[in-house]
Homo-oligomer: A and B are copies of this chain.
């Protein structure tokens, strides 16, 4: 029995609310149960120096947690003077994942910056961030289409839906979408970033206590494919 009484293959209640801040070209408040992340997409007509003049754009991401998003207050990274290792790792994952969804040549020499700020954390902040970031990104690209910023209409800029979900082995049972209570006890923890048709963008699996087998990993992957399928449906409804 999961602490939340969910079935092993059951997602938490997921919501994707668009347009939650007024300035950003795209934004989304994504909730996976009690995990709430505010995502914005910012378009800028400039590129990092190492990318200039190559005829293609860039998508990058930054991640942060409000100090009291967590059970105990976490030190504010702006005050401690640097981003921690976990933050760096997560924002690199988000950026990589979203770039896989975008045709950077079609985007043109511009940068889209995704900001994921965790308002409340109950496990799965990186997967919620990626799932919500896709919605903010899609809105940003729509915003650009509406302003005729693409030569050929921009239909090809966003190649596919991208969503992410965690899975793990909790009390010997493979389960989908771990919350904090499960995550802190799980034996194995894996995050999957996938397209709507179940192909893999990124997979990260970690044995928290004992090594896992290939067979266990396949069970987690099957759960993830189911979960991502559902998340992509929700993304499509959100932007419809």
Interface of A is mostly: mixed
> CB-CB < 8 A to A83: which residues of B?
78-79
In the assembled complex, the CB of A30 is this many whole angstroms from the nearest CB of chain B, namely 15
- Is A154 part of the contact surface with B, judged by Cβ < 8 Å? no
Knowing A115-B67, A205-B203 are in contact, say whether A89-B92 is a contact too (CB < 8 A): yes
Query: Which residue of chain B has the shortest Cβ distance to A86 in the bound complex?
Result: B92
Q: Which of A38, A66, A68, A221 has the most CB of B within 10 A?
A: A68
CB of A214 within 8 Å of the partner chain:
yes
A143 within 8 A of B: no
| Chain B residues whose C-beta falls within 8 Å of the C-beta of A62 in the assembled complex | 67, 76, 79
Contact at B100–A78, with CB atoms within 8 Å? no
Task: Report A68-97 CB contacts with B as 1/0, cut-off 8 Å.
Answer: 111101001111011101111101100010
27 contacts between A and B (CB under 8 A): A21-B69, A23-B120, A38-B66, A40-B68, A42-B67, A66-B117, A77-B78, A78-B78, A78-B83, A79-B83, A81-B81, A85-B89, A86-B92, A89-B89, A89-B92, A194-B211, A198-B214, A199-B211, A200-B205, A200-B211, A201-B207, A202-B206, A203-B217, A204-B205, A214-B225, A217-B221, A218-B218
A-side interface residues, number (CB < 8 Å): 62
User: Once the chains are docked, how many angstroms separate the CA of A67 from the CA of B39?
Assistant: 10
Say if the beta carbon of A64 comes within 8 Å of chain B: yes
Contact A195 B217 (CB under 8 A): no
Choose one: B69, B91, B201, B207; the contact of A202 (CB below 8 Å): B207
Report yes or no: B85 in contact with A73, Cβ–Cβ below 8 A: no
Chain B residue nearest in CB terms to A21: B120
